[in-house]
Amino acid sequence: MEKVLAIGGVFFRARNPVAVGRWYEQHLGVTLTPSNYEQLPWQQEAGASSISPFSENTDYFGDAKQMWMINFRVRDLNAMTTQLRNAGIEVEVNPEVYPNGRFARLRDPEGNPIELWEPAGRDAPEALKKVASESQRT
């Protein structure tokens, strides 16, 4: 069976697409879709990605009007939250450490929820490299 390889893009509505796009580039390092074929789009690092439908009455995203939330993997959650807070962005770090890592929440300028994830355990970059090298040997 064929299957998709990774998230190919995230598309969403914005009242001010230019300002929101700049915010993602400036604070999260996510470059926007290029306007021509000579420029490269944002490149993800290899690793796990989750797709999870939620009940329409979930409070997981916060505001009931928000229809989506994106999760970005980060290398160092402490460094990333410090950087965002220094820029005046409110970030809530979940104090619980899960088997798959640590998480934090913030919102973009239009209130869309963003989750940051520092992978651990089997989802950590080192574990993924080990699995990849073992599968190449077999």
User: What is the domain-level CATH number for residue 123?
Assistant: 3.10.180.10
Please give the pLDDT value at position 91.
97
Domain range holding 116?
Answer: 64-138
Please give the pLDDT value at position 138.
54
Please give the pLDDT value at position 30.
87
Please give the pLDDT value at position 129.
53
pLDDT in tens, the chain (138 residues): 766 666 767 878 888 988 999 999 999 988 887 778 788 777 777 666 777 777 888 888 788 888 888 889 898 999 999 999 999 999 999 999 999 899 999 999 999 999 999 988 877 776 555 544 554 555
Residue 21 is assigned to a structural domain of this protein: no
Please give the pLDDT value at position 28.
92
- Look at the chain and report how many structural domains it folds into: 1
Residue 10 is assigned to a structural domain of this protein: no
Residue 96 is assigned to a structural domain of this protein: yes
Distance CA 29, CA 107 (A): 15
Residue 94 is assigned to a structural domain of this protein: yes
Residue 41 is assigned to a structural domain of this protein: no
Give ∠ CA 32-105-88 in degrees, rounded to 5: 75
Please give the pLDDT value at position 132.
47
Residue 83 is assigned to a structural domain of this protein: yes
Q: How many CB atoms lie within 10 A of CB 117?
A: 20
Contact between 108 and 20 under an 8 Å Cβ cutoff? The reply is yes
Residue 98 is assigned to a structural domain of this protein: yes
Contact between 114 and 72 under an 8 Å Cβ cutoff? The reply is yes
Residue 79 is assigned to a structural domain of this protein: yes
Please give the pLDDT value at position 26.
95
